[in-house]
Amino acid sequence: MRTGVQAQWQAAVPAGLIGRAAIRALYGELSLAPKPGLVSPLDNGAHDDMTMATFMRSLFALRGYFIEIAVAGSMGAPFGTLRHLGLAAEKRMLATTVGINTHRGAIFNLGLLGAATGQLFGRGSRPDAAAICRTVATQWGQDILASRPAVPDSNGTRALAAHGGAGAREQAAAGYPLLGEVALPELRTARNRGADARASRVQALFAIMAALDDTNLLHRGGREGLALVRREARAFLDTGGVFSAGWHERALKLHRLCVAKRLSPGGAADLLACAIFLDDIGAAP
């Protein structure tokens, strides 16, 4: 049964659309292959503790979260409220996966984008990618930077402390420039050139990998590991990307290298899911 606030909000904001788009985006990333070092239908990548089934259980546990945070965003909730919802979602995720971190980055990034989407719909605006990203920065950017990391001793936090660089909080506070300047242009350009959905997403993933200071890579391989993946991803793109002959095998070659070196660009995977979400929302009727 809907509360009065929920009923009023749902009259203006398509909660189901936002929630479904977020879960669809996460599944779109998960089901993509080849995907260097990452869990996919191909294999478990560089991971010994998680499988595609682990991610599917996590997705099921997160379904309501994206609707809840969109509701909060539509009502102008402060960052503290969004953070509380995210921590509760993380707790459900960890309970479902028996302590395995499958979607912490997605809870943060897609949660903020979902909240911004809800806020724009609530204002009567049709959200596009630029407006959604800009809303994250203008509404919550300062508080994101001022807040302490939700997990002060996480792998990503330790990697940034040891190696420097900008993490997810800095990307969010700046309005996700990498999404607007790299990921979405690559995704849409590849599609406009005739690539199918899978190839377009691989192209976008490699573009993100070539540009991002991925804290997952920093944690697993330090600056050397990050530089290796960025260099190989850039070489893939510079030689034609998914529009060159044999691209699939070249992508698999990097996948095998990442597995051998235990490297997993999980931050890039999170941003690919965000790009899929923004692209999907922009195409919604």
Q: How confident is the model at residue 8 (pLDDT cuts 50, 70, 90)?
A: very low
With a cut of 90, say whether residue 28 has pLDDT above it. yes
Cα separation, 241 vs 235, in Å, equals 8
Neighbours of 263 (CB within 10 A): 24
Question: For residue 166, what pLDDT is reported?
Answer: 57
> Would you state the structure tokens that stand for residue 156, as one six-digit string?
């990503």
Radius of gyration of the chain measured on its C-alpha atoms: 18
Q: How far is CA 8 from the centre of its chain?
A: 30
Q: Does pTM top 0.85 for this prediction?
A: yes
Preceding omega of 34 cis (within 30 degrees of 0): yes
Question: For residue 155, what pLDDT is reported?
Answer: 52
Q: Are 108 and 147 in contact, with CB atoms under 8 Å apart?
A: no
Q: Are 43 and 50 in contact, with CB atoms under 8 Å apart?
A: no
Cα separation, 33 vs 42, in Å, equals 7
Q: How confident is the model at residue 3 (pLDDT cuts 50, 70, 90)?
A: very low
Phi, psi of 284 (to 5 degrees): -70, 145
Cα separation, 192 vs 195, in Å, equals 7
With a cut of 80, say whether residue 214 has pLDDT above it. yes
Q: How confident is the model at residue 16 (pLDDT cuts 50, 70, 90)?
A: confident
Neighbours of 235 (CB within 10 A): 13
Neighbours of 95 (CB within 10 A): 10
Q: What's the one-letter identity of residue 240?
A: G
Q: How confident is the model at residue 1 (pLDDT cuts 50, 70, 90)?
A: very low
Token pair 């189901």 in the structure block, residue: 16
Question: For residue 67, what pLDDT is reported?
Answer: 96
CA neighbours closer than 13 Å in the CB half-sphere of residue 62: 35
226: Cβ contacts below 8 Å, ≥ 6 apart:
163, 213, 214, 217, 218
pLDDT digit string, tens, across residues 62-120: 999 999 999 999 999 999 999 999 999 999 999 999 999 999 999 999 999 999 999 99
Nearest to 112 by CA among 64, 155, 173: 173
pLDDT digit string, tens, across residues 142-192: 999 998 765 555 554 544 434 445 578 999 999 999 999 999 999 999 999
